[in-house]
């Protein structure tokens, strides 16, 4: 799985912004990004239609991720939801299909749906989103659950709770953690003085420092969302940024790692 992708949350909600959103995704693809993350929930399927337009004629270049809502995640419902996503995305398969978060339907039923989709070639792999450590352990104990290929969670410098137990668990099992809202959209992360000082010293931007920090070790994938081509180019430059020991120490002081288990955050 690529370590950098393009998020699509809040895309596909307005016809007025569609061309801009398609252009931003194509900007990323033109610069070598291969991962696009979307979901049936985003824009009530509108984001998937935006993605379809952006990847038209170049589907084989893309590692495509979508998600099933928990209320749709019964065995038959998972298959039906995936087929609807495939239709909106104008493709015959997903590279990764995630359960968006846990609901009332037993995980075993969802796994049966994932297995049926894999057998039919409609998905290449399955994963989960917003699963905490106990959820991951429960999943792994189920028949087929140990094949989980990713866990997508809210994770950024200002919200590091997953580091206490969940991230080590996933790394030990070689399950990538996909960090959504890696720039803490709606938060105050990018206005941090420490982040700004480090960015100036390294000739970078605060966003690039925040993304490079997440990608500093193996096992974490970032999927920042932007409808701006300029911002997509800015974010991509984080791939070439290496944080030195001084920067990492400063960031740990400003944004301390967790010292105990914390409840998993969802946004």
In this structure, are residues 36 and 4 in contact, taking their beta carbons and an 8 Å threshold?
no
Task: At 252, list the tokens.
Answer: 């740990």
Diameter of the chain measured on Cα atoms? 54
Q: Which helix (H) or strand (E) holds 154?
A: strand 151-154
Query: How far, in Å, CA of 152 to CA of 41, rounded?
Result: 15
> What DSSP letter does each residue of 53-79 carry, written as one string?
HHHTT-GGG-EEEEEE-GGG-SHHHHH
Query: How far, in Å, CA of 186 to CA of 141, rounded?
Result: 36
Task: At 85, list the tokens.
Answer: 């996503």
From 154, 102, 106, select the one nearest 128 (Cα to Cα): 102
From 227, 250, 231, select the one nearest 157 (Cα to Cα): 250
Query: How far, in Å, CA of 147 to CA of 169, rounded?
Result: 14
Q: Which helix (H) or strand (E) holds 166?
A: helix 166-172
Catalytic residues: 42
Query: How far, in Å, CA of 129 to CA of 73, rounded?
Result: 13
């Amino acid at each position: 799985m690529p370590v950098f992708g393009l998020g699509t949350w809040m895309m596909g909600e307005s016809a007025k912004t569609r061309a801009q959103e398609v252009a931003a995704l194509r900007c990323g693809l033109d610069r070598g990004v291969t991962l696009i993350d979307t979901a049936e929930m985003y824009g009530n399927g509108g984001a998937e239609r935006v993605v379809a337009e952006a990847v038209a004629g170049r589907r084989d270049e893309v590692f495509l991720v979508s998600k099933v809502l928990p209320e749709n995640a019964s065995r038959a419902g998972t298959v039906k939801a995936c087929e609807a996503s495939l239709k909106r995305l104008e493709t015959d398969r997903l590279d990764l299909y995630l359960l968006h978060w846990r609901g009332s339907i037993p995980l075993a039923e969802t796994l049966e749906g994932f297995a049926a989709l894999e057998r039919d070639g409609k998905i290449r792999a399955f994963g989960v989103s917003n699963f905490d450590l106990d959820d991951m352990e429960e999943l792994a104990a189920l028949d087929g659950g140990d094949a989980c290929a990713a866990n997508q969670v809210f994770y950024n410098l200002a919200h590091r709770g997953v580091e206490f137990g969940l991230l080590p668990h996933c790394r030990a099992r070689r399950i990538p953690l996909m960090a959504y809202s890696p720039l803490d959209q709606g938060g105050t992360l990018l206005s941090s003085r420490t982040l700004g000082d480090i960015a100036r010293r390294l000739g970078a931007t605060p966003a690039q420092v925040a993304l490079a920090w997440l990608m500093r070790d193996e096992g974490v994938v970032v999927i920042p969302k932007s409808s701006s081509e300029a911002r997509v180019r800015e974010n991509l430059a984080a791939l070439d940024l290496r944080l030195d020991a001084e920067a990492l120490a400063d960031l740990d002081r400003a944004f301390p790692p967790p010292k105990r288990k914390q409840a998993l955050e969802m946004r």
